[in-house]
Amino acid sequence: MARDSFIERGARSRAMALLDSGTMRELVGPFDRVTSPWLAMQHLVTQADDGVIVAKGTLAGLPTVVLAIEGAFQGGSMGEVGGAKIAGALELAAQDNRNGVPTQAVILFETGGVRLQEANLGLAAIAEIQAAIVDLRRYRPVIGVIAGTVGCYGGMSIAAGLCSYLVLTREARLGLNGPQVIEQEAGIAEFDARNRPLIWSLTGGEQRFQTHLADAYVDDDTPGIRAVLTDLFAQGVPVVHRSARHDDFLASLEQVDTTAQAVPQEVRDIYRKGLAS
Ligand code: COA
Protein backbone atom coordinates (compact mmCIF):
# COMPACT_ATOMS: atom_id res chain seq x y z
CA MET A 1 0.00 0.00 0.00
CA ALA A 2 3.00 2.29 0.55
CA ARG A 3 3.97 2.06 -3.15
CA ASP A 4 3.32 5.13 -5.30
CA SER A 5 2.52 3.49 -8.65
CA PHE A 6 3.47 5.48 -11.75
CA ILE A 7 1.52 3.19 -14.09
CA GLU A 8 -1.76 3.74 -12.26
CA ARG A 9 -1.51 7.51 -12.75
CA GLY A 10 -3.09 9.26 -15.72
CA ALA A 11 -0.85 11.25 -18.07
CA ARG A 12 -1.39 14.64 -16.36
CA SER A 13 -0.72 13.14 -12.94
CA ARG A 14 2.45 11.48 -14.23
CA ALA A 15 3.76 14.79 -15.58
CA MET A 16 2.92 16.60 -12.35
CA ALA A 17 4.63 13.93 -10.23
CA LEU A 18 7.88 14.21 -12.21
CA LEU A 19 8.20 18.00 -12.12
CA ASP A 20 9.28 19.88 -9.00
CA SER A 21 6.28 20.57 -6.78
CA GLY A 22 4.38 23.72 -7.75
CA THR A 23 6.35 24.36 -10.97
CA MET A 24 4.07 22.70 -13.56
CA ARG A 25 2.39 24.91 -16.14
CA GLU A 26 0.33 23.26 -18.88
CA LEU A 27 0.57 24.53 -22.47
CA VAL A 28 -2.32 24.04 -24.91
CA GLY A 29 -4.33 22.56 -22.08
CA PRO A 30 -7.91 21.25 -22.10
CA PHE A 31 -9.41 24.73 -21.66
CA ASP A 32 -7.83 25.82 -24.96
CA ARG A 33 -10.13 23.25 -26.64
CA VAL A 34 -7.73 22.34 -29.41
CA THR A 35 -9.29 19.02 -30.37
CA SER A 36 -9.02 16.66 -33.32
CA PRO A 37 -11.31 17.79 -36.16
CA TRP A 38 -11.06 14.33 -37.74
CA LEU A 39 -12.48 12.19 -34.93
CA ALA A 40 -15.71 14.22 -34.77
CA MET A 41 -16.21 13.74 -38.52
CA GLN A 42 -16.09 9.98 -37.90
CA HIS A 43 -18.62 10.33 -35.05
CA LEU A 44 -15.99 9.53 -32.42
CA VAL A 45 -15.79 11.33 -29.10
CA THR A 46 -12.97 13.86 -28.95
CA GLN A 47 -10.96 14.75 -25.87
CA ALA A 48 -10.23 18.36 -24.84
CA ASP A 49 -6.46 17.80 -24.78
CA ASP A 50 -6.41 15.23 -27.65
CA GLY A 51 -4.70 12.81 -25.26
CA VAL A 52 -1.43 14.75 -24.96
CA ILE A 53 -0.32 16.83 -21.99
CA VAL A 54 2.42 19.42 -22.49
CA ALA A 55 3.82 20.34 -19.08
CA LYS A 56 6.52 22.90 -18.50
CA GLY A 57 8.37 23.27 -15.20
CA THR A 58 11.60 22.24 -13.52
CA LEU A 59 13.01 18.83 -12.63
CA ALA A 60 15.61 18.98 -9.86
CA GLY A 61 15.74 22.71 -10.58
CA LEU A 62 16.43 22.41 -14.33
CA PRO A 63 14.05 23.72 -17.03
CA THR A 64 12.13 20.70 -18.30
CA VAL A 65 9.23 19.98 -20.61
CA VAL A 66 7.27 16.76 -20.07
CA LEU A 67 5.19 15.38 -22.94
CA ALA A 68 2.79 12.87 -21.47
CA ILE A 69 0.63 10.68 -23.71
CA GLU A 70 -2.70 9.49 -22.29
CA GLY A 71 -2.98 5.79 -23.14
CA ALA A 72 -6.60 5.66 -22.05
CA PHE A 73 -7.69 7.92 -24.94
CA GLN A 74 -7.72 6.15 -28.33
CA GLY A 75 -4.88 3.86 -27.21
CA GLY A 76 -2.57 6.88 -26.92
CA SER A 77 -2.53 7.03 -30.71
CA MET A 78 -0.95 10.06 -32.38
CA GLY A 79 -3.21 12.32 -34.39
CA GLU A 80 -2.61 15.68 -36.00
CA VAL A 81 -3.26 17.79 -32.88
CA GLY A 82 -1.59 15.66 -30.20
CA GLY A 83 1.39 15.02 -32.50
CA ALA A 84 1.76 18.75 -33.22
CA LYS A 85 1.66 19.50 -29.48
CA ILE A 86 4.61 17.17 -28.85
CA ALA A 87 6.61 18.30 -31.91
CA GLY A 88 5.94 21.99 -31.20
CA ALA A 89 7.00 21.68 -27.55
CA LEU A 90 10.23 19.89 -28.51
CA GLU A 91 10.95 22.55 -31.15
CA LEU A 92 10.43 25.32 -28.56
CA ALA A 93 12.78 23.51 -26.17
CA ALA A 94 15.48 23.39 -28.88
CA GLN A 95 14.89 27.10 -29.51
CA ASP A 96 15.25 27.74 -25.74
CA ASN A 97 18.66 26.04 -25.86
CA ARG A 98 19.73 28.19 -28.80
CA ASN A 99 18.67 31.22 -26.74
CA GLY A 100 20.78 30.13 -23.78
CA VAL A 101 18.08 28.37 -21.70
CA PRO A 102 19.17 24.69 -21.42
CA THR A 103 15.71 23.06 -21.57
CA GLN A 104 15.54 19.25 -21.41
CA ALA A 105 12.63 16.94 -22.25
CA VAL A 106 10.86 13.81 -21.02
CA ILE A 107 8.44 11.93 -23.27
CA LEU A 108 6.05 9.54 -21.53
CA PHE A 109 5.24 7.08 -24.31
CA GLU A 110 1.96 5.21 -23.96
CA THR A 111 0.91 4.84 -27.57
CA GLY A 112 -0.35 2.50 -30.26
CA GLY A 113 1.44 4.66 -32.86
CA VAL A 114 -0.22 6.60 -35.63
CA ARG A 115 -3.92 7.19 -34.98
CA LEU A 116 -5.54 5.00 -37.58
CA GLN A 117 -8.46 7.45 -37.99
CA GLU A 118 -6.06 10.26 -38.90
CA ALA A 119 -3.75 8.24 -41.17
CA ASN A 120 -1.23 10.40 -43.05
CA LEU A 121 -1.69 13.43 -40.77
CA GLY A 122 -0.68 11.29 -37.80
CA LEU A 123 2.30 9.93 -39.74
CA ALA A 124 3.41 13.46 -40.66
CA ALA A 125 3.15 14.53 -37.01
CA ILE A 126 5.26 11.56 -35.92
CA ALA A 127 7.93 12.47 -38.50
CA GLU A 128 7.99 15.99 -37.03
CA ILE A 129 8.36 14.57 -33.51
CA GLN A 130 11.30 12.43 -34.65
CA ALA A 131 13.03 15.41 -36.33
CA ALA A 132 12.48 17.55 -33.23
CA ILE A 133 13.99 14.88 -30.93
CA VAL A 134 17.11 14.71 -33.13
CA ASP A 135 17.39 18.51 -33.05
CA LEU A 136 16.90 18.89 -29.28
CA ARG A 137 19.08 15.95 -28.19
CA ARG A 138 22.16 17.82 -29.48
CA TYR A 139 21.80 20.30 -26.60
CA ARG A 140 20.14 18.50 -23.69
CA PRO A 141 18.94 14.90 -23.21
CA VAL A 142 15.51 13.84 -24.39
CA ILE A 143 14.50 10.94 -22.13
CA GLY A 144 11.75 8.50 -23.07
CA VAL A 145 9.83 6.53 -20.44
CA ILE A 146 7.61 3.56 -21.28
CA ALA A 147 5.80 2.52 -18.12
CA GLY A 148 2.64 0.65 -19.24
CA THR A 149 -0.05 -0.32 -19.88
CA VAL A 150 -0.35 0.44 -23.62
CA GLY A 151 3.36 0.23 -24.47
CA CYS A 152 4.95 2.02 -27.43
CA TYR A 153 4.37 1.05 -31.05
CA GLY A 154 4.54 2.12 -34.69
CA GLY A 155 6.37 5.31 -35.61
CA MET A 156 6.47 6.27 -31.95
CA SER A 157 8.70 3.25 -31.26
CA ILE A 158 11.17 4.84 -33.69
CA ALA A 159 10.79 8.13 -31.77
CA ALA A 160 11.59 6.19 -28.57
CA GLY A 161 14.67 4.74 -30.27
CA LEU A 162 15.87 8.26 -31.09
CA CYS A 163 15.74 9.40 -27.45
CA SER A 164 19.01 10.09 -25.66
CA TYR A 165 17.99 7.61 -22.96
CA LEU A 166 15.10 5.19 -22.63
CA VAL A 167 13.63 4.00 -19.32
CA LEU A 168 11.39 0.92 -19.14
CA THR A 169 9.44 -0.89 -16.44
CA ARG A 170 8.72 -4.63 -16.41
CA GLU A 171 5.18 -3.79 -17.54
CA ALA A 172 6.39 -1.84 -20.62
CA ARG A 173 6.14 -3.16 -24.17
CA LEU A 174 8.13 -1.82 -27.12
CA GLY A 175 7.79 -2.84 -30.75
CA LEU A 176 7.46 -1.47 -34.26
CA ASN A 177 4.42 -3.57 -35.12
CA GLY A 178 1.84 -4.22 -32.43
CA PRO A 179 0.86 -7.83 -31.65
CA GLN A 180 -2.57 -7.37 -33.26
CA VAL A 181 -0.98 -6.08 -36.46
CA ILE A 182 1.54 -8.94 -36.67
CA GLU A 183 -1.19 -11.53 -36.13
CA GLN A 184 -3.46 -9.86 -38.69
CA GLU A 185 -0.74 -9.58 -41.36
CA ALA A 186 1.26 -12.79 -40.79
CA GLY A 187 -1.22 -15.12 -39.14
CA ILE A 188 -1.72 -16.56 -35.68
CA ALA A 189 1.01 -19.15 -36.24
CA GLU A 190 3.51 -16.30 -36.54
CA PHE A 191 2.28 -14.42 -33.47
CA ASP A 192 -0.67 -15.01 -31.17
CA ALA A 193 -1.79 -11.55 -29.99
CA ARG A 194 -3.71 -13.11 -27.07
CA ASN A 195 -0.61 -14.87 -25.75
CA ARG A 196 0.46 -12.19 -23.30
CA PRO A 197 3.40 -14.15 -21.76
CA LEU A 198 4.79 -14.55 -25.32
CA ILE A 199 4.35 -10.82 -26.03
CA TRP A 200 6.12 -9.76 -22.83
CA SER A 201 8.88 -12.37 -23.16
CA LEU A 202 9.86 -10.99 -26.58
CA THR A 203 8.91 -7.31 -26.42
CA GLY A 204 8.50 -6.56 -22.70
CA GLY A 205 10.57 -4.11 -20.68
CA GLU A 206 13.03 -6.63 -19.26
CA GLN A 207 13.78 -8.23 -22.63
CA ARG A 208 14.22 -4.85 -24.34
CA PHE A 209 16.57 -3.71 -21.56
CA GLN A 210 18.58 -6.94 -21.78
CA THR A 211 18.90 -6.49 -25.55
CA HIS A 212 20.32 -2.94 -25.17
CA LEU A 213 17.23 -1.15 -26.45
CA ALA A 214 16.86 0.68 -23.13
CA ASP A 215 19.21 2.31 -20.65
CA ALA A 216 17.35 1.77 -17.39
CA TYR A 217 15.00 -0.91 -16.09
CA VAL A 218 12.95 0.45 -13.20
CA ASP A 219 10.23 -0.55 -10.76
CA ASP A 220 6.74 0.91 -11.07
CA ASP A 221 7.53 3.50 -8.42
CA THR A 222 7.02 7.24 -8.96
CA PRO A 223 9.86 8.58 -6.75
CA GLY A 224 12.19 5.88 -8.14
CA ILE A 225 11.43 6.87 -11.75
CA ARG A 226 11.96 10.54 -10.90
CA ALA A 227 15.33 9.71 -9.32
CA VAL A 228 16.45 7.73 -12.39
CA LEU A 229 15.48 10.62 -14.68
CA THR A 230 17.45 13.06 -12.48
CA ASP A 231 20.52 10.78 -12.69
CA LEU A 232 20.26 10.38 -16.46
CA PHE A 233 19.87 14.13 -17.02
CA ALA A 234 22.96 14.66 -14.84
CA GLN A 235 24.92 12.40 -17.24
CA GLY A 236 24.24 14.93 -20.02
CA VAL A 237 24.09 14.21 -23.73
CA PRO A 238 25.38 10.68 -24.50
CA VAL A 239 28.71 10.49 -26.35
CA VAL A 240 27.15 8.01 -28.81
CA HIS A 241 23.39 7.88 -29.26
CA ARG A 242 21.82 4.45 -29.54
CA SER A 243 20.47 5.33 -32.96
CA ALA A 244 24.03 5.92 -34.19
CA ARG A 245 24.79 2.25 -33.43
CA HIS A 246 22.51 0.97 -36.18
CA ASP A 247 25.26 -1.16 -37.74
CA ASP A 248 25.77 -3.07 -34.47
CA PHE A 249 22.02 -3.63 -34.08
CA LEU A 250 21.64 -4.77 -37.70
CA ALA A 251 24.57 -7.20 -37.36
CA SER A 252 22.89 -8.74 -34.29
CA LEU A 253 19.50 -8.84 -35.98
CA GLU A 254 20.98 -10.78 -38.90
CA GLN A 255 21.98 -13.56 -36.50
CA VAL A 256 18.43 -14.13 -35.24
CA ASP A 257 16.92 -17.26 -36.81
CA THR A 258 13.68 -15.99 -38.36
CA THR A 259 12.62 -19.43 -39.64
CA ALA A 260 11.47 -20.47 -36.16
CA GLN A 261 9.73 -18.79 -33.22
CA ALA A 262 12.38 -16.66 -31.54
CA VAL A 263 13.57 -17.83 -28.12
CA PRO A 264 13.94 -14.84 -25.71
CA GLN A 265 17.16 -16.06 -24.08
CA GLU A 266 18.85 -16.72 -27.43
CA VAL A 267 17.90 -13.25 -28.66
CA ARG A 268 19.34 -11.73 -25.47
CA ASP A 269 22.61 -13.64 -25.91
CA ILE A 270 23.00 -12.45 -29.52
CA TYR A 271 22.37 -8.79 -28.72
CA ARG A 272 24.47 -8.83 -25.54
CA LYS A 273 27.43 -10.13 -27.55
CA GLY A 274 26.88 -7.77 -30.49
CA LEU A 275 26.43 -4.62 -28.41
CA ALA A 276 28.67 -5.36 -25.43
CA SER A 277 31.19 -2.58 -26.08
N1 COA B 1 -5.08 4.04 -33.56
C2 COA B 1 -6.31 4.14 -33.04
N3 COA B 1 -6.73 3.42 -31.98
C4 COA B 1 -5.82 2.59 -31.41
C5 COA B 1 -4.51 2.44 -31.90
C6 COA B 1 -4.14 3.22 -33.02
N7 COA B 1 -2.92 3.15 -33.54
N8 COA B 1 -3.86 1.54 -31.12
C9 COA B 1 -4.73 1.14 -30.17
N10 COA B 1 -5.92 1.76 -30.36
C11 COA B 1 -7.16 1.59 -29.56
C12 COA B 1 -7.80 0.22 -29.79
O13 COA B 1 -8.58 0.23 -30.96
C14 COA B 1 -8.64 0.08 -28.52
O15 COA B 1 -9.80 0.89 -28.67
P16 COA B 1 -11.20 0.41 -28.01
O17 COA B 1 -10.95 0.39 -26.53
O18 COA B 1 -12.15 1.48 -28.46
O19 COA B 1 -11.46 -0.94 -28.59
C20 COA B 1 -7.75 0.76 -27.47
O21 COA B 1 -6.83 1.61 -28.20
C22 COA B 1 -6.95 -0.21 -26.63
O23 COA B 1 -6.28 -1.13 -27.50
P24 COA B 1 -6.36 -2.72 -27.29
O25 COA B 1 -5.83 -3.37 -28.52
O26 COA B 1 -7.73 -3.12 -26.83
O27 COA B 1 -5.36 -2.88 -26.04
P28 COA B 1 -4.16 -3.91 -25.83
O29 COA B 1 -3.53 -3.51 -24.55
O30 COA B 1 -4.61 -5.31 -26.00
O31 COA B 1 -3.13 -3.61 -27.03
C32 COA B 1 -1.76 -2.36 -28.53
C33 COA B 1 -2.62 -2.32 -27.24
C34 COA B 1 -1.26 -0.94 -28.77
C35 COA B 1 -0.57 -3.31 -28.31
C36 COA B 1 -2.63 -2.89 -29.70
O37 COA B 1 -3.79 -2.09 -29.83
C38 COA B 1 -1.90 -2.86 -31.03
O39 COA B 1 -1.19 -3.81 -31.35
N40 COA B 1 -2.09 -1.78 -31.81
C41 COA B 1 -1.41 -1.58 -33.08
C42 COA B 1 -0.03 -1.02 -32.83
C43 COA B 1 0.67 -0.78 -34.14
O44 COA B 1 1.12 -1.69 -34.80
N45 COA B 1 0.77 0.48 -34.50
C46 COA B 1 1.31 0.85 -35.76
C47 COA B 1 0.19 1.53 -36.49
S48 COA B 1 0.76 1.97 -38.12
Query: CB count, 10 Å around CB of 100?
Result: 6
pLDDT(63) > 80:
yes
Quick one: what percent of the chain has pLDDT higher than 70?
99
- Taking the C-alpha atoms of residue 77 and residue 50, their distance in angstroms, rounded to an integer, is 10
d(CA 64, CA 55): 8
Q: Which CATH number fits domain 11-238: 3.90.226.10, 2.40.100.20, 3.40.50.300, 3.90.850.10?
A: 3.90.226.10
Q: Please give the residue that has the higher pLDDT: either 217 or 257.
A: 217
> What's residue 1's pLDDT?
62
Portions of the chain given CATH number 3.90.226.10: 11-238
Spatial separation of the C-alpha atoms in residues 193 and 178, rounded to whole Å: 9
* Whether pLDDT at 258 is above 70: yes
Q: How many C-beta neighbours within 10 Å does residue 250 have? A: 10
Q: Tens digit of pLDDT for each residue in 233-255?
A: 999 999 999 999 999 999 999 99
Tell me the pTM. Answer: 0.97
Rounded mean pLDDT of the chain? 96
Residue to substitute in 73, 117, 120, 150 for testing ligand 1 pocket (most ligand atoms within 8 angstroms of CB):
150
pLDDT at position 276, please? 82
Cα 266 to chain centroid distance, Å, stands at 26
Task: Choose which residue among 180, 190, 195 to substitute to test ligand 1 binding: the one with the highest number of ligand atoms within 8 A of its C-beta.
Answer: 180
* 82 ligand 1 Cβ < 6 A: no
- Burial-class residue 9 by CB neighbours within 10 Å (0-12, 13-18, 19+): middle
Task: Kindly tell me if the per-residue pLDDT of 12 is higher than 90.
Answer: yes
